[in-house]
Structure 1
Amino acid sequence: MSKKLNGNGIFEGSRFILPEFREAYEAQMREQERRGKPALDDQEMQLIEQALIESYNRRVPITVVVFNPFDDEELRGIVTSVNTSLREVKLIRGDEDCSWIKLEEIISATI
């Protein structure tokens, strides 16, 4: 007889992955790529806040790097509003595209 029919050969020769198992495996692999937020010291936070204030006062474009657990996002625009109670800034990118960004999510800011 064939080698596949002996012992555990029937099950070994018919391996396949269900779509549900594949999705669970891929989700687990993505979760392992998640990284933690870097800790910023007080001096770095002051430099970020100074750059944001300068962009707000002088209406000059600023480049902001926003933390994301998988890949950081770089945004460029002009700070038009600062909400101190919620610790957010409004960044206008282009004509109509705007976004509110929390200060604690900003990793770096340069003018």
Structure 2
Amino acid sequence: MSIKLQGNGLWESSRMMLPQHKESIIEHQKQYNKKSRPSIHQDELEVINQNINHSLHYKETIQVKVFNEYQDLIICGVVTAISQFNKNFRVQNEQGFEWIDFDEIVSVRFM
């Protein structure tokens, strides 16, 4: 009798993964690691707004934690502009500047 037909030989001899299968496995792992947006208490929102305004007026460096589905992003810099209309603000750092939406903020701390 052939070795392929004994024990687990049939499955061991036919290992093959299609690109579609690999993509679906990677996508499934991404969905498994996805986070939900945290709810922020009203008191914490006031602290966030105070820290942003303080950085704007006194040119203090802040650390902003921005929500991302897979891993939170941390942006450090000085607030240079606030847009009430677009509900975002601009942070200046060594790489240039970034606009951050108020809805995406998790926390704001001073450096």
- Normalising by structure 2, report the TM-score: 0.89
1:60 paired residue number: 60
Show CA shifts across 1:44-102 (max 9, x none). Answer: 001000000000011111111001111011111000000011110000011x5111000
Percent same amino acid at aligned positions? Answer: 28
> Structure 1 regions of 5+ residues with no counterpart?
none
Counterparts of 1:89-108 in structure 2, within 5 Å, are: 89-94=89-94, 97-108=96-107
- Count, aligned residues: 109
Structure 1 segments of 4+ aligned residues over 6 angstroms from their partners: none
Report the TM-score, using the length of structure 1 for normalisation: 0.89
Q: Which moved more, 1:31-40 or 1:9-18?
A: 9-18
Alignment of 1:26-105 (within 5 A): 26-94=26-94, 97-105=96-104
State the distance in 2 between where 1:97 and 1:72 align: 20
Letter in 2 for 1:108: S
| Unpaired runs of at least 5, structure 2 | none
